[in-house]
């Protein structure tokens, strides 16, 4: 599976360079590549990196080759197409892995920290709208405008549209609302997975979504291989951070990755037997 993800990343770069596997333009300005529009690289990049990092620990030589190909392809495409979400995501993954590998940690304490990371990420939009706390980061680090290319405008519309009991159960996946940025975007999502969960499925859906991450984290922490645990958790952290400005819960790539992570202990044991 790691090799498949690596191959998809390589094809994505080939698609961008040659305009194969898709039309050259999906609109007046945006390229349409193997994975769709340019930002769709985020749908697979962190999971491809996570799986290939683990594969490089199990299959030493061949695993490293595919890891390098995945990393180079993903970073090259993200920079080539200026996909800031993907660039930040891969930076978060590598930084998280560096921190986890560098320190001994109590797993209960780490679990508590990860829960705080999830809560912070889920509340990021609300905090960002109510304060100017992240404006400096948007402008000076991400090289974006203070609205994150208009995303904060979409986030405000979520709170404008939500009324009454819909806060509890949402408007459903096939709602009729449109989130609009006048100069470039009109769609059915607010470019934030947590707000999309809140809008479509209400507080109930958002809590269940967050709980999904917590179940995965608990399962990963049962693993006996620290290096594997660190890679899986780093991938999870990067995914959690990425969803602040993107959405991919309807994509199959993260779920395949998470199922593997939740069963990684058995997979590693079977690999050792081989």
- pLDDT one-digit tens code per residue, 20-50: 665 544 444 466 787 877 778 888 899 999 9
The answer on pLDDT for 142 being more than 70 is no
Question: How far are the Cα atoms of 14, 73, 91, 203, 239 from residue 35, in angstroms, in the given order?
Answer: 11, 13, 21, 31, 18
191 neighbors 151 (Cβ within 8 angstroms)? yes
Average pLDDT score over residue span 85-101: 91
When pLDDT is cut at 50, 70 and 90, the band that residue 260 belongs to is confident
Q: What is the pLDDT of residue 156?
A: 87
When pLDDT is cut at 50, 70 and 90, the band that residue 207 belongs to is very high
Q: What is the pLDDT of residue 81?
A: 82
Question: How far are the Cα atoms of 3, 108, 136, 254 from residue 8, in angstroms, in the given order?
Answer: 9, 36, 35, 14
Beta bridge partners of 185: 181
Instruction: Compute the mean pLDDT over every residue in the chain, rounded to the nearest whole number.
Output: 82
The answer on pLDDT for 274 being more than 60 is no
Question: How far are the Cα atoms of 79, 122, 153, 172 from residue 199, in angstroms, in the given order?
Answer: 32, 13, 15, 8
241 neighbors 200 (Cβ within 8 angstroms)? no
Give pLDDT tens digits for 208-244.
999 988 888 888 888 878 888 899 999 999 999 889 8
* Highest mean pLDDT, choosing among 2-6, 123-127, 195-199: 195-199
Q: What is the pLDDT of residue 23?
A: 53
| 3-state secondary structure at position 153 | helix
| HSE (side-chain half, CA atoms, 13 Å) at 87 | 14
pTM (predicted TM-score): 0.86
Q: What is the pLDDT of residue 25?
A: 47
């Amino acid at each position: 599976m790691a090799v498949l993800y690596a191959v998809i990343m390589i094809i994505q770069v080939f698609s961008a360079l040659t305009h194969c596997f898709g039309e050259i333009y999906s609109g007046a300005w945006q390229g349409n590549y193997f994975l769709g529009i340019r930002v769709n690289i985020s749908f697979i990049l962190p999971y491809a990196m996570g799986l290939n990092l683990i594969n490089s620990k199990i299959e030493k030589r061949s695993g490293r080759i595919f890891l390098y190909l995945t990393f180079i392809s993903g970073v090259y495409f993200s920079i080539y197409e200026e996909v800031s979400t993907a660039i930040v995501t891969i930076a978060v993954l590598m930084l998280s892995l560096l921190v986890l590998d560098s320190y001994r940690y109590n797993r209960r304490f780490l679990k508590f920290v990860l829960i705080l990371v999830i809560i912070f990420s889920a509340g990021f939009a609300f905090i960002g709208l109510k304060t100017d706390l992240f404006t400096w980061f948007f402008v000076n680090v991400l090289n974006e405008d203070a609205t994150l290319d208009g995303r904060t405008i979409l986030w405000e519309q979520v709170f404008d549209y939500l009324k009454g009991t819909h806060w509890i159960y949402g408007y459903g996946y096939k709602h009729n609302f449109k989130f609009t940025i006048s100069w470039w975007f009109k769609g059915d999502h607010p470019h934030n997975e947590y707000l999309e969960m809140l809008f479509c499925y209400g507080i109930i859906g958002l809590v269940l979504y967050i709980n999904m991450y917590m179940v995965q984290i608990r399962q990963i922490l049962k693993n006996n291989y620290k290096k594997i645990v660190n890679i899986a958790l780093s991938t999870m952290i990067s995914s959690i951070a990425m969803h602040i400005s993107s959405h991919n819960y309807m994509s199959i790539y993260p779920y395949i990755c998470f199922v593997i992570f939740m069963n990684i202990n058995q997979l590693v044991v079977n690999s050792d037997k081989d």
